[in-house]
Amino acid sequence: MGEMSSVSSKNEKVDTRNNWVTFMFKCKCAYFCFLKQSHIDTCTSAFKEFEAHGFKFGEIGYGGNHVHFIADVPKRYCITDAEIMLKSRSALRMFEQHQGFKKRYPSGSFWSGYEHHQSTGMQDIEESAKYIRNQTAHHNITVIYDAQKCLTSFSAE
């Protein structure tokens, strides 16, 4: 007798819909928290942690006291839940990795209540990405590259 298989012949459901949304989050009290590259890197990596949950990220741009970014939100999350998740995780990482933030925000609230989001179709995604890429020039800010560098010129002889 031949071998029997109990594997279903139905196709696995794959989310083929896109839900690209342009977000803008502002720091509480409009403090210029994103003038150092280390702060930008911390926030960006906190957002990217959600790629494990199906989020996809396009351009991310920082304007000194706010961040603009494009994200494809999986259909199992509503936009409000996605916003709460992104704000919570990024604030947590900022407080963990930058001790000065606890002094500036003693209540533990990093993001303001203001947020902006709009659906971004495939037609205007490049236009949104261009705007996001040019945030430092648009707001005339200079980012300080404060990452610690490894000194290779000093070696024990």
Q: What is the pLDDT of residue 11?
A: 55
Q: Is the pTM of this model over 0.75?
A: yes
* Burial category of 66 from C-beta neighbours within 10 Å (exposed 0-12, middle 13-18, buried 19 and up): buried
Kindly give, in sequence order, each residue whose CB lies less than 8 Å from that of residue 120, ignoring residues fewer than 6 positions away.
20, 21, 22, 70, 128
Please give the Cα distance from 133 to 18 (Å, whole number): 22
Q: Which amino acid is at 16?
A: T
DSSP label at residue 112: E
pLDDT of residue 120: 81
Tell me if 20 sits within 8 A of 119, measured CB to CB: yes
Secondary structure of 44-70 in HEC code, one letter for each residue:
HHHHHHHHHHCCEEEEEEECCCEEEEE
Amino acid residing at 51:
E
Binned at pLDDT 50, 70 and 90, residue 146 comes out as: confident
Q: pLDDT (tens digit, 9 = 90+) per residue, 20-58?
A: 999 999 999 989 999 999 999 999 999 999 999 999 999
64 pLDDT exceeds 70?
yes
Out of 3.30.360.10, 3.40.50.20, 3.30.70.1290, 1.20.58.190, the CATH code matching 20-138 is 3.30.70.1290
